[in-house]
Chains A and B, each alone.
Chain A
């Protein structure tokens, strides 16, 4: 599957957020191309550029799995096709 996605994770900081999110991606053979993390206000904010070329699941299935992880650890995880950001922010 030729597709890249932007995954954003926002929520209250706690131990293990990065490990749970990246672990789920690895389980589904999603490669991480770029990862940035910062604290905005009091919120943990992480952004990943993920390559779904070898992924075992579709973007929507990935979103469903990450939704489960997100609700377990109390963060909001959004998966969006990279096309959106490319068309909005790059001419």
Chain B
């Protein structure tokens, strides 16, 4: 088979100057057969099981990186939601499990391990309550463990008791890591309609319908899309823009498919899904916000931004769906603030507000992501913010999430640093009126009529 010089150079340019990478290869592993009579026996079983599947994960993926010449930024593990896989522990017990998971992740050299999670969208088991109580401490004493809690779904409605509890839990997670700008809250996601095969942290967990172990892949490549759009010039219409994004998404998804299949076959586990995503990083030009601006918006956040994002998100899905037979996960454009230089600049310029971000989450994955808010934001205000985002997911039958960091001691306009892939975020202003009466009411917001699909 022969290739043109242009094709080969295009691929090399995508990697060298446009930051094409595979964002993550995530191995999902069931832990629901690891519960033993004692805590120490349970911990030993967890270690044995994870090592059995994942001991070669990092070296295998590194080999693939070198062979095809595309970087895989993160190697990760997700496990069955711990509250359900390992039931019946107390708060201390769950913290010990988190520490054990952290040490396994560190031993294997994986960047993050997700699944310190509970699903409580319709109600809470005692185990789930204990796990949620353990989250702030667990996230402060570990570095690689990520946590998520599902508090709403289209089928169940919104568990408002859990929403308020998560408002308080986020506050505690931030306060217990005050010396690190509230980093604990950056590793904690609140979900509506979470997916079971999501390779992206902090919301990754290994769902109940999954095989014993599976490889899921998240692709990236905002830089490649941005560069393709810039090459189009300013006078092409939206049809041409959509077509260009589709073609580009196709190519980057094919790379993900190749990496995923190779990794799965070499590790001897099932291949799961490709998450067709545009996930930004703090590298120059690797920004979703800048893609929106390339469509003719002076700054991300101005009028027209939601429409531009809707076009982008849809075109990525269309191009990607053609490239892989198993799309899944969250699949769409991500709009975290702290991980996207264009978003950070838009917030600093006063173009992008929290309410515009909320509107944008209606047309993309995944939600209010990596947003820093003032440290004196109350748990009740956070609960109001979470409830709004959960309502968007519930009514629109989509996944939405909230990953918000009330940075201890920080005021609006200050910059919070989280380091690494989590980046830095300007502290955004909250609406100064109370949601307290609303948050404290409790109970469950009933499932909407959209849930009656049978």
Residue positions of A touching B, CB distance < 8 A: 6, 8, 10, 34, 36, 38, 40, 45, 47, 49, 59-60, 63, 78-90
Contacts and interface: CB of A to CB of B under 8 A. Distances in A.
Given A49-B2, A89-B3, A84 B68 contact: yes
Contacts of B2: 34, 49
Contacts of B66: 59-60, 63
Given A60-B67, A78-B12, A80-B68, A90 B5 contact: no
24 contacts: A6-B8, A8-B8, A34-B2, A38-B5, A45-B9, A47-B5, A59-B67, A60-B67, A78-B12, A79-B69, A80-B67, A81-B67, A81-B69, A83-B258, A84-B11, A84-B70, A85-B7, A85-B8, A85-B11, A87-B255, A87-B257, A87-B258, A89-B251, A90-B1
A86 B1 contact: yes
Interface in B251-267: 251, 254-255, 257-258, 262
A89 B2 CA distance: 11
Contacts of B11: 80, 84-85, 88-89
Nearest to B251: A88
A40 B63 CA distance: 31
- Secondary structure at the B interface, as helix, strand, loop or mixed, is helix
Contacts, number: 63
Contacts of B3: 6, 47, 49, 85, 89
Contacts of B255: 84, 87-88
A53 to B, nearest CB: 15
B263 to A, nearest CB: 13
Interface residues of B, number: 21
Contacts of A79: 69
Given A78-B12, A88-B11, 14 more contacts: A6-B8, A36-B5, A45-B9, A47-B5, A79-B69, A83-B68, A83-B258, A84-B69, A84-B70, A84-B255, A85-B7, A87-B255, A87-B257, A90-B1
Give 7 nearest A-B pairs by CB, closest first: A80-B69, A84-B68, A87-B258, A87-B254, A81-B67, A89-B7, A81-B68
Nearest to B68: A84
B64 to A, nearest CB: 9
Contacts of B9: 8, 40, 45
A8 B251 contact: no
B12 A84 contact: no
Contacts of A8: 8-9, 12
A55 to B, nearest CB: 14
Contacts of A89: 3, 7, 11, 251
B21 to A, nearest CB: 13
Contacts of B63: 60
Q: Chain A CB within 10 Å — which of B1, B2, B7, B257 has the most? A: B1
A60 B68 CA distance: 10
Contacts of B70: 84
A8 to B, nearest CB: 6
Contacts of A86: 1
Q: Chain A CB within 10 Å — which of B2, B67, B254 has the most? A: B67
Nearest to A38: B5
B325 to A, nearest CB: 13
A8 B12 CA distance: 9
A8 B69 CA distance: 12
Nearest to A33: B2
B217 to A, nearest CB: 13
A29 to B, nearest CB: 19
A5 to B, nearest CB: 9
A81 to B, nearest CB: 5
Contacts of A10: 12
Interface in B308-336: none
Contacts of B5: 36, 38, 45, 47
A45 B66 CA distance: 21
Interface in B211-255: 251, 254-255
Contacts of B8: 6, 8, 47, 85
Q: Chain B CB within 10 Å — which of A40, A83, A87, A90 has the most? A: A87
Nearest to A86: B1
A82 B1 contact: yes
A40 B70 CA distance: 23
A17 B37 CA distance: 67
Contacts of A59: 66-67
A85 B11 CA distance: 8
Interface string B57-75: 0000001001111100000
Q: Chain A CB within 10 Å — which of B7, B8, B63, B255 has the most? A: B8
Interface in B1-57: 1-3, 5, 7-9, 11-12
Contacts of B12: 8, 10, 78
